[in-house]
Structure 1
Amino acid sequence: MNEVYDVTIIGGGPSGLYSAFYSGLRNLKTKLIESQSVLGGKVNLYPDKILWDVGGLTPITGKKFLSNCITQGLTFHPTVCLNTEISQITNTAGIFDIRASNGDHHYSKTVILAYGSGIITPNKLDIDGVERFERTNLHYIPNSLHAFRNKQVFLSGGGNTAIEQANELLSIAKRVTLGYRGNELRAHEHSVDAFRKNGGTLLLETQIHSFRGNHLGEIEAVSLSVAGEARTITADAVIVNHGFASKQAIGFDEALGLRFTEHHFIEGSPDSTLDCSGIFAAGDAISYTGKVNLLVGAFQDAVNAVNSVKQYLNPAAEKQAMVSSHNEAFAEKNRQVSL
């Protein structure tokens, strides 16, 4: 049998990362499993957005915030498994068998579900051979809009996120062209007006047909139909913002007895406990009366989940960890920070 962990956290977003930090603080043998190739969860979708509502932090970009979360989450060196999608969880003789879609099995005494609203993937273009440009200058989730400085950008999409990206690019890129398949954008009217007023080019009833690549494997032009007429636009980069597809992150054995809301969130309690003994939840995955659907709420859920795990494994344990300012777990780390 594979190694058995005290707790396995499924989901590497802010709630999962803080759960990993806090479980390390509570001396729990911890594994963190994430379905994507990177940690950070949904915050990866808005790296350049400014966050104002996280306690104790002055305005911070999503990218910097995630960097801090990841550094903090790995403080006590949990085992981390990326690119690992969980297909089923069952309980055998008090040990949870967490099965991955690749056939691997992960074993744990407890589980914290921190997978947010499920596995989210961008809706991609249905064009033959388009995948080769994903390695160069076709983007679905840009790491940073500043990478498009002084470039000619073609952006496809018509929702609020697309028009927000387009407006931000206007002060960065050389030229921004926004194409949408409909005859009217779905985004807020004031955002659309701002895009037009500040020099953006808007093309409605637009369909992408193909890309022309160069010898470097990069897109250099986009072939379109605009209101039925063929058109070619030069581009240094293409961003596609056609929304996201979401699916339930895990298949659960019915014997576990978990209850779900109509929106597929798990029904639980404010202390992050669920109907299934040994499984807990944090962040967007859990729903309960008084739930705070903000990042600060995700951190509170994580603390409650880990404390519940600790007492589940050892009923005599303290209900919560000692505060960090007086905790011996940080003694050596504090000396390193002060150097």
Structure 2
Amino acid sequence: MNELFDITIIGGGPAGLYSAFYSGLREMKTKIIESQDTLGGKVRIYPEKRIWDVGGLKPILAQEFCENLIEQGLTFNPTVCLNQKVETIDKDENLFVITTEDGNRHYTKAVILANGGGIITPQKLEVEGAQKYELKNLHYTVGRLERFRGRHVLISGGGNTAVDWAVELMYVAKSVTVIYRKEELSAHEAQVKKLQENGVNIILNAKITCLHPNEEKDCIDAVEIAVNGSHQRVEVDDVLINHGYQRESSVSFTPGLEPKKQGEYFESTGKGALSTEGLFAAGDNIVYDGKVYLLLGAFQDAVNAVNSAKQYIDPSSYPSGMVSSHNEVFKARNEKLIREQHGVPILSESV
């Protein structure tokens, strides 16, 4: 039989990574299965966005936060399976059997679903020839802001993500134009106000109808937009598209095993447990009274899910993990850090 794990976590974003950390802290054999080719989840969509609302952290770029989160999540060396999309979850007596798209079968005592809204794929621009420029100057996410310095940028979209991009880019781009198909932007008022106060060109009731290429440079030279029945040409260096995301659930269950749901969300007890015994969840895929859909909420969900899973596996275990300052699993690691701090030779490399 394949190797057996105590906990298998589906999803390698913030909720999944903190679940892996806390599962290791509670001395359980842990595996992460992630459908993408890297860990980090949705945080990777906005690498240069500043995160302010995580307790104990100064404002930090999402990219740096993501790197720290991954390092923390791998503290206790969980097994990590990347590029493996989960197809089904089944149960064989007291063990769960997770089958991935490549045919691999993973055996585990408990499962934590930390896959958020599922696999996220940007909605593509439905204009003839658009795909040709995706590796040129047509973008569906913002990587490095510096890439857009001194350039004329057009952003299509009016939700929070599109407007957040516009706010970030107005400090580095030569010009920013935002077009949106509706009568007003749907983003947070404070961000919209920033655009207005800084003279960002906002065109409403508008959509891209045609891309005009620069044949010599093989890139987009201008876009044609329809505005209230008329057409307008806008010269551009870069086009950013944020028309939302397609969400594909990466988990299905054999008959009788699927937990109860409210719409797209799994019903949770608030302690991470789902209606199917042995299944737990953390992050944006669950609903319960008092649920917080922020990073800090994902971390609390992770702790609750792991503690509940621990007691499911071992009913005699303590209901929560010991704080790190008194936890034996950190004793050797703390010793190593103290020795490094004071320049004292490290006695063993086993930590």
Which TM-score band (shorter chain)?
0.7 to 0.9
| CA 18–203 in structure 1, closer or farther in 2 if over 3 Å, else same | same
Give the 5 Å matches for 1:77-96. 77-96=77-96
Residue 39 in structure 1 maps to residue 39 in structure 2:
yes
Asked if 1:234 is matched to 2:239, the reply is no
Cα offset, 1:213, TM superposition: 5.2
Structure 2 residue ranges without an equivalent (≥5): 341-351
Task: Indicate the SS of the match to 2:134.
Answer: helix
Partner of 2:22: 22
**Structure 2 CA distance for partners of 1:337 and 1:215, relative to 1, 3 Å:** farther
* Residues 187/112 of structure 1: CA separation in 2 closer, same or farther (3 Å cut): closer
* CA displacement at 1:191 relative to structure 2: 4.8
**What is the distance in 1 between the residues matched to 2:318 and 2:193?**
57
Q: Is the 8 A contact 1:151 1:173 kept in 2?
A: yes
Task: Show the counterpart of 1:252.
Answer: 253
Q: Which runs of 4+ in 1 moved over 6 A?
A: none
Matched-pair contact (CA < 8 Å) for 1:21–1:75: yes
Is 1:329 matched up with 2:341?
no
- Single out whichever of 202-211 and 264-273 deviates more from structure 2: 202-211
Q: How many residues align?
A: 336
Q: Which residue of 2 aligns with 1:294?
A: 294
In structure 1, runs of 5+ residues without a counterpart are none
Change (3 A) 1:150 1:97: same
Alpha-carbon distance between aligned partners in 1 of 2:6 and 2:188, rounded to the nearest angstrom: 48
CA 21–188 in structure 1, closer or farther in 2 if over 3 Å, else same: closer
CA deviation vs aligned residue, 1:253-286 (integer Å, no higher than 9, x gap): 231251101x321112122112212111112222
Please say if 1:123 is aligned against 2:123.
Answer: yes
Contact 1:155 1:176 in 2 (8 A): yes
Aligned-partner Cα distance in 2 for 1:138–1:170: 18
Secondary structure of 1:70's aligned partner? helix
Structure 2 letter corresponding to 1:251: S
Secondary structure at the counterpart of residue 311 of structure 1 = helix
Residues 208/4 of structure 1: CA separation in 2 closer, same or farther (3 Å cut) = farther
Q: 1:145: which partner in 2?
A: 145
**CA-CA distance at 1:91 after TM superposition:** 0.6
Name the residue aligned to 2:307.
Answer: 307
| SS, match of residue 309 in structure 1 | helix
Whether the 8 Å contact between 1:112 and 1:279 is mirrored in structure 2 is yes
Could you say if the C-alpha distance between residues 182 and 52 of structure 1 is closer, same or farther in structure 2, counting changes exceeding 3 Å? closer
Q: Structure 1 residue 69: deviation in Å?
A: 1.2
- Please tell me the root mean square deviation across aligned C-alpha atoms, in Å: 2.5
* Secondary structure, aligned partner of 1:9: strand
Cα distance in 1 between the residues matched to 2:25 and 2:131: 43
- 8 Å CA contact 1:179, 1:206 repeated in 2: yes
Paired position in structure 1 for 2:134: 134
Q: How far does residue 26 in structure 1 lie from its aligned partner after superposition?
A: 1.9
CA distance in 2, matches of 1:209, 1:101: 38
Deviations 1:287-335 (A, max 9, x none): 2233333322221221121122222222233333322112232233224
Counterpart position of 2:158: 158
SS in structure 2 at match of 1:284: coil
Shift of 1:7: 1.0
How many percent of aligned residue pairs carry the same amino acid?
Answer: 48
How many Å apart are 1:232 and its aligned residue?
5.2
Task: Render the CA deviation track for 1:137-173: whole Å, top value 9, x for unaligned.
Answer: 3221212434322222121112343233213211111
| Contact map agreement 1:182 1:206 (CA 8 A) in 2 | no
Amino acid at match of 2:235: I
Q: Deviations over 1:166-207 (max 9, x none)?
A: 132111111212233446544466755643542323344232
Query: With structure 1 as the length reference, what TM-score do the two structures score?
Result: 0.88
Give the match for residue 207 of structure 1.
208
TM-score scaled by structure 2?
0.85
